[in-house]
Structure 1
Amino acid sequence: MGAALLVLGSRLLPRSAVDVLAGGFAALTAADLAWLWVRVGDTPHGRAISWAGGWTLRHGQSVGIVLVGDRLSVGLALLVSALILAVVAYSWRYFDEPPAKHRTTFSALLLVFEAGMCGFALTGDLFNAFVFFELMGVVTYALTGYRIEDPRPLHGALTFGITNSLAAYASLLGIGLLYARTGELGMAQTGVALAHHSGDALTVTAFVLVIASMLVKSATVPFHFWLPDAHAVAPSPVCMLMSGVMVELGVYGVARVYRVVFGGPGGVPASAFTHTMAALGVLTALTGAIMCWQQRHLKRLLAFSTISHTGLWLLGLSLLDPSATAGTALYVAGHAGVKAALFGLAGVLLNAHGSVDEYGLHGRGRDRPLAGALFLTAGLALAGLPPFGTGLGKAIAEHAAGESSGWLTAVFVVVSALTGGAVLRAGLRIFYGAGPAPSPSISDVETSGDGEEPEVVDCERTVPRVMTVVPAVLLAGGLAVGLWPGVGRALAAGARAFEDRAGYLADVENLPVPGSAHPVPSTAWTTSGVLLGLLATATAFSLAAVAVWLPAHSGTWARDLRTLAAAGDRRLISPLRRLHSGLLGDYLTWLTLGLAVLMAVVGGQM
């Protein structure tokens, strides 16, 4: 409704009225979802069910569309609405330059983007999920290439659009295979109908195809190549949404579709899902962390950090354990505020200096002490510093992963240290001029981040203050997630409902709901969680300090370390960097190969 009114009234309303209208609809949506969040917690089984148009089940079958809200799905929709509201405020002065219609179009697209993301989080219908997901994708394509006068955003938008469209066709084909076998499109009904069949090649093929678009949207390796290219050129407010909540919806979709549709008899065995997705999560986490550390383009650095954390979330949800799910939900909530704040601060640098190059900005951010303090704080939070929500979520998820396999705890610590350390390194250099001016390494290519076009093009006006205030509020939100026990308790109850497949099916089919087999997990801070968070944070700061100040030392040990780093750069980083070629054909080849390998791996465990 808000998007439609903005488009219809754009020729009649003054600029200030457009801003108020966009902000008002964003605030009303957030308030609506906050009320729903509270009401869902009051229901007997933690779910709210609504059939669109009253087309309910008849004799176990339906042509209707069902919406299902629990604390996790409503919580994700609420997170979407909160970030949309923050982005509307952040971009308040973005389009002061003529033509004024740019502001109206941008705001309308943001509200449609919100509709797609909220709809995907709440739907209980496979085809409807596809429609909402692709609505989200089409709007992201438009927002990524919003600056059509610059060929780089257009290239990034085309890469995003074509890669995600191919994955969407794969998902639609998978939904068609399921419909041919079961005659149903509702997730719950499809899951029930699959129980009358045996798991076979069609089941495996449908599963991999259905989750294809979700794996691509979540930027899971090897389906991730589009994300750093798109983030490098998309407007900063769009990056805040893509990394803050869009990729998280992809991971949520994989877990939801498996748990409801394929998690029972006739579907994919739990061991096959856990082993495959956990391996994919570890690969994604480590690849993203390594690539994040060696970036100098700030927006690409943050994009690879998102890819790395996507791997941790996929790993947590693959365990099919309420405690790991609760920790992952907290991790996502805390990360959304921290990562959106970092992209907002990168936008401040871009608009103040026309650059997001860590090397070229060395010492140029000294005149922005508040932005510098916020940037370093966000880096510490990204590393898992207690009491931020990222630290609490990481502690709970890594404990559950460690109980499954002890070495997985090390993955959480290493990934958090590398991604947080990369942000701290950039913050120390840019805002404090720490260490000597860095020199390019052997793996550096054209994506330096220098010579970018400012997003506020009027060079005679200062960067709007709201662009620093909004990141501060977002960071405060990430801190509140870790400090407010009520958030953890609510998400823990939601995690139990999320993992209760029998309860979900019974609620949708309006049958008596059996008691959950899982207790509500604890989301309180533990001594081990605090210590591991401090270890990851200390490691992150140590890595950043070594990277910043090592070049200034001339001792033998320093030369040996630099030689070792150069060898690693040449043998590991450069080959990995060459895989991220920027060529669309390469990315589509990896997409096709990845889906084929997934089918073979999952099929081999049936």
Structure 2
Amino acid sequence: MPGTADLLPLTVALPLLGAALLVVVGRLLPRTVNDVLALAVAAATCAGLLLEWLRAGGGRVVSWSGGWTMTGGESVGIVLVGDRLGIGLALLVSVLTVAVLAYSWRYFDEPPERHRGAFPALLLLFEAGMCGFALTGDLFNAFVFFELMGVVAYALTGFHVEDPRPLHGALTFGVVNSLAAYASLLGIGLLYARTGELGMAQISSHLSGHRADPLLVTAFVLVTTSMLVKAAIVPFHFWLPDAHAVAPTPVCMLMSGVMVELGVYGTVRIYHVVFAGQHGIPPDAFEHTMVAAGAVTGVVGAVMCWQQRHLKRLLAFSTIGHTGLFLVGLGLLGPDGAAGTAVYVAGHAGAKAALFGLVGVLLDRYGSVDEHALHGRGRELRGTGALFLAGGLALAGLPPFGTGLGKSLAEHAAGGSGPWLPALYVLVSAVTGAAVLRAGLRVFFGAGPVPRRTHADLETSGEGEEPEVRDPRRPVPRTMTLVPAVLIALCLAVGTVPSVAAAVAEGARAFTDHAGYLASVRHGGAGVPAAAAPEAIWTLPGVLLGLLSAGLAVAMACAAVWRPSHALRGAGHHLVVPLRRLHSGLLGDYLMWLTVGMAALLVAVGSQV
């Protein structure tokens, strides 16, 4: 596709240049100018990615930086490869970055002159790292972009350096993810030693002449571990709720909305391109391992989500539960599962970012994110409450939200592996949606009796939080409610505008086409797969399952608010206490689970090769 890939490098370079500009001159400019400049850079990046997404069609666009193309099957150049799923994920990153910059317009106090422009600059660096990771075709550069994303995320998590809690959360986040990154780098080194290549397509070509031996299995596990840690897959997930509980609300919108999903995307993308050849890791080994890990993650995330009263931790565990479902859908390795998961991710990003934004309104207004302490205090924010309930219904998979359509398509794809997988989708969606609805009914509508607080509570309290503004008496900035409303509307549009879901489904063919990816990188063609694109439409079973999960969510939320069952609470106490104690907040425990997870992954994959 001559001339169509020229914008790909620019979509990565532009936010990098914008961040550099803000760092150099930001302290000399008024805050409004900094915000406008950052917003303009993010919007321009978004426009470039949208153009490339439209041009990609059902194939790919390939861009070799500096014209260093392949010669005789070899190259030292840096290549960016974009299909509609990869470019679409980068586009989602840019859309959420625009939303977060708009949301933050008057969210923070006027920073000191020496820090002016720092926050938007970090957001642009975050965007550049995520976009670069979604588009790169080079394994080492994937590591570089992934680490750029991670380092900026650590800095954003601990942005309020005067408070020890964000620093502790950022330290836990940074140490766990950095150790996983070193494992990934070691795996890349093993692949380089075996093949002498760093490009994903070139590595795959060289591996085609080797059988899946212990070195290849070890490299796969090491590289995959870093992705699964960033995706917060059990047992690599412990850092995420601790980080979300203390990170600034706009940062949570990006981390839960798209950063975690990039870990799932990277896991499956690298497998499809690098390890899925004739002599690579067997598809059954990958599918069984990832589907099992996704199922466990979904259940653990849903159970822990239900037990929270700290609203940011509640939403963080909800993200873990849904990320497990995303791994199940992509782990099935078919275009149907990829199409459904892609639609699901797009809808979930809008709903989850909106919910975090609305929690930010509570923190701005009341200096608390505790569901019990806020009981009835949000009655004056009925519009915010209505949006919060809409977000809860979207998480539950209610048609016609985009989350409901994606869940429907993924359930259909998973049904071929047995009825238990669609049941898992219904269960996780219902429980996480119910937790959000329960909190919304209590906080914004004062429903039910005031919850009694006892020493036996399993939840982490959300009281004593510091407002992220110094004058909570000011009116809530309009952008803090307008942006979540737009994000909820976008989630609805994903499920109601047929052309959007159809275009995403068309890109799923290219995402799962191993031979086509290699051909595109070698010869520069689009490599449009011959297979028909999966259908991305509402079906009667999908609508019924969506109504079932939403109905269960409403019933559970109402029961928890108006008719709490002491018997069920006691049973739940005995079942959940051991799980709750595993989330100790101790860095040493988390590192131990990182080691256990790597060993389990090695055994699971190695035993099936």
Instruction: Quickly name the TM-score band, shorter chain normalised.
Output: over 0.9
Distance across 1 between alignment mates of 2:175 and 2:548: 42
How many angstroms does 1:463 deviate by? 2.2
1:263, 1:101 → 2: CA distance? 50
* Whole-angstrom distance in 1 between the partners of 2:542 and 2:129: 36
Query: Is 1:11 matched up with 2:15?
Result: no
Deviations 1:188-237, CA, capped at 9 Å, x for gaps: 11111111111011111000100111101100000000000000000000
Q: Is the 8 A contact 1:144 1:230 kept in 2?
A: yes
Match of 2:426 among 392, 410, 413: 413
> Partners of 2:454 and 2:435 in 1: how far apart?
15
Contact 1:443–1:577 (8 Å) recurs in 2: no
**Equivalent residue number for residue 476 of structure 2:** 463
Aligned to 1:555: none
| 2:466 corresponds to 1:453 | yes
Q: Structure 2 CA distance, aligned partners of 1:383 and 1:308?
A: 12
1:280 to partner: Cα distance? 0.2
Secondary structure in 1 matching 2:161: coil
Partner of 1:589: 592
Identity %: 69
* One-letter amino acid of the structure 1 residue matched with residue 426 of structure 2: V
Asked if residue 387 in structure 1 is aligned to residue 387 in structure 2, the reply is no
1:207 is matched with: 220
Specify the SS of the correspondent of 1:155: helix
Verify: 1:293 aligned to 2:333, yes or no. Answer: no
2-structure distance, mates of 1:531, 1:33: 35
Does residue 1:565 correspond to 2:564, yes or no? no
Q: What is the aligned length? A: 593
- Distance (Å, rounded) in 1 between the aligned partners of 2:381 and 2:463: 19
Alignment of 1:117-156 (within 5 A): 117-156=130-169
Q: Are residues 1:246 and 2:259 paired?
A: yes
Q: Distance in 2 between matches of 1:97 and 1:36?
A: 37
- 1:196 and 2:209 matched: yes
Q: What is the CA-CA distance between 1:444 and the residue it aligns to?
A: 2.7
SS of the aligned residue for 2:82 comes to strand
More displaced, 289-298 or 97-106? Answer: 97-106
Alignment-derived partner of residue 38 in structure 1: 54
How far off its partner does 1:94 sit? 2.4
Q: CA offsets, 1:261-312, max 9 Å, x none?
A: 0001221000000000000000000000000011000000000000000000
Q: Cα distance 1:435–1:17, how it changes in 2: closer, same or farther (>3 A)?
A: same
Question: C-alpha deviations, 1:449-488, integer Å up to 9, x for none?
Answer: 0110001122342221210111000000100000111111
Report how far residue 60 of structure 1 moved: 0.8
1:371, 1:468 within 8 Å by CA — same for their partners in 2?
yes
Residues 169-178 or 16-25, more deviating: 16-25
Corresponding residue number in structure 2 for 1:2:
18
How far apart in 2 are the matches of 1:86 and 1:253?
24
Q: Deviations for 1:581-601, whole angstroms, at most 9, x for unmatched residues?
A: 000000000001100110011
1:72-471 equivalences in 2 (<5 Å)? 72-440=85-453, 444=457, 447-471=460-484
Distance in 2 (CA, whole Å) between partners of 1:133 and 1:34 is 22
What is the rounded CA distance, in whole Å, between the counterparts of 2:359 and 2:116 in structure 1? 21
Q: Secondary structure of 1:92's match? A: helix
> 2:105 aligns to what SS in structure 1?
coil
SS in 2 for 1:50: strand
1:62 aligns with 2:75: yes
Counterpart of 1:556 in structure 2 is none
Q: Would you say the 8 A contact 1:396–1:529 is kept in 2?
A: yes
Asked if the contact 1:384/1:390 (under 8 Å) is kept, the reply is yes
Residues in 1 aligned to 2:486 and 2:529: alpha-carbon distance in whole angstroms: 37
What per-residue deviation string (whole Å, max 9, x for no partner) do you get for residues 79-128 of structure 1? Answer: 00000000000000123334144451000000000000000000000000
Aligned partners of 2:59 and 2:527 also within 8 Å: no
CA deviation digits over 1:552-584, x for unaligned, max 9? Answer: xxxxxxxxx412321221x21111000000000
Structure 2: gaps (5+ residues): 1-16
AA in 2 matched with 1:211: T
Q: 1:98 to 1:495 in 2, by over 3 A?
A: closer
Residue 211 of structure 1: SS of its match in structure 2? helix
Mapped partners of 2:371, 2:329: distance in 1: 32
The reply on whether 1:518 has 2:542 as its aligned counterpart is no
Q: 1-side partners of 2:67 and 2:376: how far apart?
A: 61
CA contact (8 A) 1:97 1:458 kept: no
Mapped contact 1:188–1:505 kept (Cα < 8 A) = yes
Q: For 1:480 and 1:160, how far apart are their aligned partners in 2?
A: 34
Aligned with 2:64 (options 48, 51, 58): 51
Q: Answer yes or no: is 1:541 the counterpart of 2:554.
A: yes
Deviates more, 1:60-69 or 1:508-517: 508-517
Partner of 1:24: 40
Q: Indicate yes or no: 2:590 matched with 1:579.
A: no
Change over 3 Å in CA distance of 1:514–1:69 after alignment to 2: closer
Is contact 2:408–2:543 with CA below 8 Å preserved after alignment?
Answer: yes
Contact 1:97 1:457 in 2 (8 A): no
**Cα 1:517–1:599 shift into 2, 3 Å:** farther
* Contact 2:309/2:459 (8 A) holds in 1: no
Q: Which amino acid aligns with 2:587?
A: L
Distance of 1:495 and 1:256 partners within structure 2: 11
- The 8 Å contact of residues 40 and 47 in structure 1, kept in 2 or not, is answered as yes
Which amino acid in structure 1 is aligned with residue 21 of structure 2? L
Distance in 2 separating the partners of 1:9 and 1:512: 42
One-letter amino acid matched to 1:10: G
Q: Which runs of 5+ in 1 are unaligned?
A: 552-560
Aligned-partner Cα distance in 1 for 2:109–2:161: 17
Give the TM-score of the pair, scaled to structure 1.
0.96
Distance 2:526 2:411 in 1: 31
Partner of 2:602: 599
State how far apart, in whole Å, the 1-side matches of 2:116 and 2:485 are: 24
Q: Measure, in 1, the Cα distance between the counterparts of 2:259 and 2:379.
A: 33
Distance 1:505 1:311 in 2: 29
Q: For each residue in 1:413-455, what CA deviation from the matched residue of structure 2 results, as whole angstroms up to 9, or x when unmatched?
A: 0000000000000000000000001123665357210110001
Q: 1:428 to 1:183 in 2, by over 3 A?
A: same
Aligned to 1:558: none
Cα distance in 2 for partners of 1:462, 1:588 equals 43
